[in-house]
Structure 1
């Protein structure tokens, strides 16, 4: 089944990325970034089928060297948060042969980018190695170029007026010519809390005003429209037409559409992109399930959600197929008379209602699966967890306050008259003030009792010692 994928993103230095690193990774090469001296070696990367650089007619030939091209991009973009290049990733039909896939990528890159004056560095990848995830990465610098190199992204234009009040915008070079014809730059002037944009001649008529800024009113004019937000939609539509044309040339009946299900008017739920990490996890789970001889089940949330979406869409497809089959039967039986037509119509209505009920039930199950928990439910769960935690804390406090739970080990009790251990500062921190006061009183009583027992034991030991000494000093009886 043919798939459609076309995504666009900007590689920015502000995001910590490097155009040299991106180019090295996409082409599986070793490139050195001259700006920071870092070496990016991806020569061991697998899955790169083909890579090349496409230049417009007016671009310098030295840019056919990948290192030269992207190091010039890094040197030209000097801002710390500069946008370096635009990356496009699009799926390549696996129905095409390898040479056809390369030629298809060449056609797409030339028609969408090179024909508009862009430099394009593209690489064809097969991430999984099985031919079912073939895609192309395209890196395009954001600046226009001429025979000498890259040009500026934009130029400042000033707002100028003439004596008749006509207004236009002009670059610095254009203003030099217009100045001789009586045109003047527009500045911002202030009088109290009021601001106006006036020329120097007009400001003389506004008594007491002062220039609010030394810079004239100006704005940036981009030299190309490559950053126009509407370009992405136009590129996606053009790529869709090229992919369908390639599928038709390859003899495949499959077709793709760049529009969403909602825009197409199709009652389907779109699946969410899983990405290479999720697919790697799921493939490992499939192999483990096959090795154990059990049925495979998704192990990630994204894959489980997509599996539920596929099941829902399959139900919808079966419903539509059944309705279409019944509609064809009804059309075939229409010639047999109105009576048969009415009976079949009622049967069709019943079947359709039954299927609608099943679809509604499936949609409700799907909505419940995709819908996040209600705030009230989350609040109840949080409250129950807090109550459970409070009960556990209270039980812990009671165990700390109970003398029986504070008995010392047997070996330690044999060396001391005090049978109970003292709580640590951390254990005391869990007790409420009244529990802590009760514990202090109980602990004081335990210590006092242990002291009395120790004194009594010492007195008994002295008494027993005296008795033994007296027995030893008494003379033994004589034997006659």
Structure 2
């Protein structure tokens, strides 16, 4: 089954993650890092199924080692430091696609960066079943004469929201617009009907420039006035959504050719999709370090999710039964009141008839009252069942929170210094998930998950200045 998995990491020689090293690892080739003279040669080359370079239009062919050694040379000339040479994208490829389909997905992903150099490779585990792609995207634009250094003024440039022929949307820097236009991207504009269109789309619908709300294209953001993290987060969200559209487009085409229902992936989190389930984690390939532990953890997560689904279904069912019983009690009460009122207003026609009617109405009233008592008893029983189910759900959530606490403590204890940073980041992610589960538990228990402000001291608690115990 197709799954969504995409992550991105920075590539900077300052952290030991040089572009030449990463290119050698993902391509399976032996490359020489000219900056240090180091020979970059890594094992497990059998995992590399395919690889290649995607260069901007007009850039002559270049070798992989030459490309990334030049990128690192420009990085040194630009002052080095913590700036990036490239970004490393990794994402899972749908197992429903064949080799050509996966390769087409990778090439469409590279097309999201028309002004950049993209070095791609497709990997799979030895046992198969874990196809994924590695994409190394240059931080600087690449032109025929080489990489283009950014000036200080360009760091404040705006990004235009653009769309290609497939409907993929991406923010593209103003300085990259020339290359993007040559690759088929078009700027989007806001129109008076509230829709965003390219001018080509507008002309096809009989609209023109006068129908736009502004002659300026849609601008995504500016670096000035925003943190680098906020800008990067916004760009990352656009890339994640664009990849989901690319994969779903190829999955739909493959399913149509095979005559089956297409699989669909979604880049949004469970919380954003309104799902209360605990998300599973990426397992990776069979035989990789930690794979068995991740499979076991996912089995436990699925079991907890299934149990919570059953409990929520039972809670909804018992809640509906409770409402039905309350309606039944109300109807019986209305019948009793109607019978009593009818007896009070009916005229007397002889003492015998009156007594007989009174006895009959008393019997009806008593039967109605007995039915009401029985219904109320059923209401009480249903309420107790609902309370038990709610308590069981609270217990399940408590177990999940306790499990997350244990994982966070394990990660915070850390191990080797090299693994400590990753452990703390994972602990932070688990802390966010723990907060979500704790809020769900407080909501279910009828508690306010928001922290309460401490109450001010009462008058009798105040002591005069200088008071001694």
> 1:6-405 maps to which residues of 2 (within 5 A)?
6-42=6-42, 45-58=45-58, 60-63=59-62, 65-78=63-76, 79-81=79-81, 82-110=83-111, 112-114=112-114, 117-131=115-129, 133-156=130-153, 228-249=232-253, 250=255, 251-273=260-282, 279-283=288-292, 298=293, 305-319=297-311, 354-372=388-406
Aligned-pair RMSD on alpha carbons?
Answer: 4.3
- Structure 1 residues 373, 73: CA separation in 2 closer, same or farther (over 3 Å shift)? closer
Paired position in structure 2 for 1:171? none
Structure 2 residue runs of 5 or longer lacking an equivalent are 155-222, 323-330, 333-374, 410-469
Give the Cα–Cα distance (whole angstroms) in 1 for the partners of residues 307 and 55 of structure 2.
49
Give the Cα–Cα distance (whole angstroms) in 2 for the partners of residues 374 and 275 of structure 1.
22
| CA deviation map 1:252-279 (0-9, x unaligned) | 4432221222222211122344566995
- Structure 1 residues 227, 361: CA separation in 2 closer, same or farther (over 3 Å shift)? closer
Structure 1 residue runs of 5 or longer lacking an equivalent are 158-218, 284-297, 331-337, 376-480
- Structure 1 residues 353, 226: CA separation in 2 closer, same or farther (over 3 Å shift)? closer
- Structure 1 residues 281, 233: CA separation in 2 closer, same or farther (over 3 Å shift)? closer
Q: Do the aligned partners of 1:23 and 1:139 also contact (CA within 8 Å) in 2?
A: yes
> What is the deviation of 1:154?
2.3
> What is the deviation of 1:151?
0.8
TM-score, normalization: structure 1? Answer: 0.50
- Structure 1 residues 366, 21: CA separation in 2 closer, same or farther (over 3 Å shift)? same
Relative contact order, higher structure (CA 8 A, sep 6+): 2
SS at match of 1:236: helix
TM-score, normalization: structure 2? Answer: 0.51
- Structure 1 residues 244, 76: CA separation in 2 closer, same or farther (over 3 Å shift)? same
Q: Do the aligned partners of 1:2 and 1:94 also contact (CA within 8 Å) in 2?
A: yes
| CA deviation map 1:319-347 (0-9, x unaligned) | 456678999999xxxxxxx99xx999999
SS at match of 2:276: coil
Give the Cα–Cα distance (whole angstroms) in 2 for the partners of residues 21 and 252 of structure 1.
42
Q: How many residues align?
A: 285
Give the Cα–Cα distance (whole angstroms) in 1 for the partners of residues 397 and 315 of structure 2.
18
- Structure 1 residues 255, 327: CA separation in 2 closer, same or farther (over 3 Å shift)? farther
Give the Cα–Cα distance (whole angstroms) in 1 for the partners of residues 40 and 384 of structure 2.
66
Pick the structure with greater CA Rg: 1
Q: Do the aligned partners of 2:314 and 2:389 also contact (CA within 8 Å) in 1?
A: no
- Structure 1 residues 155, 365: CA separation in 2 closer, same or farther (over 3 Å shift)? closer
- Structure 1 residues 265, 349: CA separation in 2 closer, same or farther (over 3 Å shift)? farther
SS at match of 2:116: coil
- Structure 1 residues 373, 135: CA separation in 2 closer, same or farther (over 3 Å shift)? closer
Give the Cα–Cα distance (whole angstroms) in 2 for the partners of residues 327 and 102 of structure 1.
51
Give the Cα–Cα distance (whole angstroms) in 2 for the partners of residues 36 and 135 of structure 1.
30
Q: Do the aligned partners of 1:308 and 1:366 also contact (CA within 8 Å) in 2?
A: no
Give the Cα–Cα distance (whole angstroms) in 2 for the partners of residues 151 and 374 of structure 1.
44
Give the Cα–Cα distance (whole angstroms) in 1 for the partners of residues 317 and 380 of structure 2.
15
Give the Cα–Cα distance (whole angstroms) in 2 for the partners of residues 121 and 373 of structure 1.
36
Give the Cα–Cα distance (whole angstroms) in 1 for the partners of residues 287 and 385 of structure 2.
40
SS at match of 1:35: coil
Give the Cα–Cα distance (whole angstroms) in 1 for the partners of residues 247 and 304 of structure 2.
28
Give the Cα–Cα distance (whole angstroms) in 2 for the partners of residues 258 and 352 of structure 1.
36
Paired position in structure 2 for 1:172? none
Give the Cα–Cα distance (whole angstroms) in 2 for the partners of residues 327 and 245 of structure 1.
42
- Structure 1 residues 277, 84: CA separation in 2 closer, same or farther (over 3 Å shift)? farther
